[in-house]
Amino acid sequence: MPTPRHGLGAAVVSDMIHVAGGGPVTGGMIQTAYHEAFALPVRA
């Protein structure tokens, strides 16, 4: 992931992994509003 964080949520939709939320510091009350999506590799 380009954005390091912990305590996030992830889901697979079609051929993409979506990663949302999380926090920049362990045990902190700070949350991010980042949403990143990654394409799954296509198998031949």
Query: Is 4 a member of any domain?
Result: no
* Residue 32: per-residue pLDDT: 84
**So what's the pLDDT on residue 29?**
76
Dihedral in degrees, nearest 10, Cα atoms 13, 15, 17, 20: -50
Going residue by residue through the chain, which has 44 residues, state the pLDDT in tens, using 9 for 90 and above: 788 888 888 999 988 999 998 888 777 678 888 899 999 888 77
pTM: 0.71
Residue 43, C-beta contacts closer than 8 angstroms, at least 6 positions apart: none
Range of the domain at 16: 9-39
Contact 17, 38 (CB under 8 A): yes
Q: How many domains does the chain have?
A: 1
